[in-house]
Structure 1
């Protein structure tokens, strides 16, 4: 039997109705604006592939427009812009985007909290940091989607660093918490827009960079303006996350939330091997930077200072004390586990 619905869809009237409906479907595409902490050259590795993948799979249902460091707002204003809905999503560490949460100090490079890149996802997924981050960000209207591990934190400098004394007076681009820690060794932290760093080194405004490992130094061009790479690091892995405005996140259907998580997880995975392989390959085969090292017995002073720093941070609030205790327990477990988890 021919029903009224079937009749309308198989006649000129039905065809006309479908044609008129088509623009409305296209207009219903969910559109997000997302900004990363990374400049264009670095973003090609740390986020662009993930967003391209999401857009390709989501198709007409949702599209994310990606902006690089400081394109819409300065990196230090990313959190507020996302919280207010000016930006729908952000990729950054807590520290750089000036998050007003108790966990902010642990984003980016918390001194000596991790030794290897796998430490970060284990801390979040198995030792309880995910729950603490979710609690902290839910309280301020932001969704913490996932955290991942990136590169270690090393110095790339114009002049060689071969002792702690060589750090005195060095003007260095670094993360807020890392800078706070390093000031006791004479480092002068400098805050500048990401895209200005290369020129600032060339003009002498900066003496060096403590913002990444050697992979990024080569990828973004910093190896072209510095001469030395210090093999000692103050952290084995950067901790960065994907975030979204809570209302925008809650508006997404479950399958698009899942797709976004899958794409960000793929991004985390890519960085695991890209950085790990790059750090080794460029130390051995890179031609731009000469490697220098502070002797272990002297560097031990920096490691000891980190333990004092942890205590200072833990004393600031109960939430910070919880995180420090987790980091402390995790590192104790790794030491007890021995090789290959820790080399003692």
Structure 2
């Protein structure tokens, strides 16, 4: 074979091989360090722990390039000032209960739960599929914030009382630590609501500064030692058939995040929410048994008192809708979802649960 033929074949072979594209530098995700202030005592491994689960998940999803350090209440700002700190940019984000801030706008209650409102599954459905997150963020934007659900407690207990509640009359003059619109309902019936952070409620109850306190449920209440200073444990918390806790970020900081980091936060919030309610559901039963064995007297709220609170809660809804445009807008969408889901739950969920409760009792 002559030299010219060899050269021709080499040229054809070379043409068949695609040329390597020049390397194009891909922008690397930034290294970020955020601070998160929690409104919940560090001793409570479920509700405070949800923020730790959230932060760990964000770090894992970003190969540790986005790290969020969790601070307990008082380490950076007091528990009930978390929203203010995020709004001002003192910290980048918080894990808090939005109903703490109904003094700013009563519509904040919807991010947590309203009296005689939705249960855990219904609240989750309204937030994620009923437009709740978007509606709430119209409100949060007014405070330079962006928010997502981060944790839920399930239905809560009605709290610890020094004296027995036999009817509506026993609510008059009752000084009770109770947050959100539940406190407003209690006030309409003659009670004296007090808003205290989790770390302050034991000493207030022990000293007699308050007569009763609601916090969450057996697992947390036992850790806080509330059974040591009040004998009567009431149920249910008609003001929190479900209580959703919130991730709140400074709006400018949130908007400046890469989309992949925003997606990591959304995913981590959902992960922490599933984890938190599962932790309570698996640990509350044993905690309740221990409390009862230790002398706690478990009591249902009298029907008369429940009915009176229900009437006042419905009246309050209408009054707030007439006063607050933000409350009215959210309430219109929320109440339609509530009514639709209640109709469905009566057919399926409620009938199933009611039968099993009766069958197990037999």
Displacement of 1:70 in angstroms is 3.0
Q: Which segments of 5 or more consecutive residues in structure 1 lack a partner in the other structure? A: 1-24
- CA-to-partner distance for each residue in 1:76-112, whole Å, 9 max, x for gaps? 3222211121110011122214684562233434111
- CA-to-partner distance for each residue in 1:3-36, whole Å, 9 max, x for gaps? xxxxxxxxxxxxxxxxxxxxxx9xx731111111
Counterparts of 2:282 and 2:303, CA distance in 1: 24
**1:168–1:187: 8 Å Cα contact kept in structure 2?**
yes
Compared CA separation, residues 275 and 339, structure 1 to 2 (3 A)? farther
Matched ranges for 1:1-344 at <5 A: 29-42=31-44, 43-97=47-101, 100-101=104-105, 103-114=107-118, 116-146=119-149, 148-153=151-156, 154-234=158-238, 235-284=240-289, 286-287=291-292, 288=294, 289-337=296-344, 338-342=346-350
Q: Count residues with an aligned counterpart.
A: 317
1:70 match: secondary structure: coil
Counterparts of 1:32 and 1:72, CA distance in 2: 13
Counterparts of 2:205 and 2:283, CA distance in 1: 23
**2:127–2:133: 8 Å Cα contact kept in structure 1?**
yes
Displacement of 1:256 in angstroms is 1.9
**Greater Rg, structure 1 or structure 2?**
2
Displacement of 1:48 in angstroms is 2.0
Compared CA separation, residues 44 and 273, structure 1 to 2 (3 A)? same
Displacement of 1:122 in angstroms is 0.9
Counterparts of 2:327 and 2:300, CA distance in 1: 32
1:95 match: secondary structure: helix
**2:150–2:269: 8 Å Cα contact kept in structure 1?**
no
Counterparts of 1:215 and 1:330, CA distance in 2: 31
Residue number in structure 1 paired with 2:4: none
Counterparts of 1:298 and 1:99, CA distance in 2: 26
Displacement of 1:75 in angstroms is 2.8
- The TM-score with structure 1 as length reference comes to 0.82
Q: Which segments of 5 or more consecutive residues in structure 2 lack a partner in the other structure? A: 1-27, 355-362
**2:58–2:265: 8 Å Cα contact kept in structure 1?**
yes
Counterparts of 2:273 and 2:289, CA distance in 1: 25
Counterparts of 1:124 and 1:104, CA distance in 2: 13
Counterparts of 2:311 and 2:143, CA distance in 1: 35
Counterparts of 2:87 and 2:255, CA distance in 1: 14
Displacement of 1:127 in angstroms is 1.8
Displacement of 1:280 in angstroms is 4.5
Residue number in structure 1 paired with 2:16: none
**1:227–1:290: 8 Å Cα contact kept in structure 2?**
yes
Residue number in structure 1 paired with 2:23: none
Counterparts of 1:269 and 1:106, CA distance in 2: 19
Displacement of 1:316 in angstroms is 1.4
Counterparts of 2:173 and 2:147, CA distance in 1: 37
Displacement of 1:150 in angstroms is 2.1
Counterparts of 2:98 and 2:88, CA distance in 1: 17
User: Cα RMSD between the aligned structures?
Assistant: 2.6
**1:121–1:147: 8 Å Cα contact kept in structure 2?**
no
- CA-to-partner distance for each residue in 1:39-58, whole Å, 9 max, x for gaps? 11224533222223333554
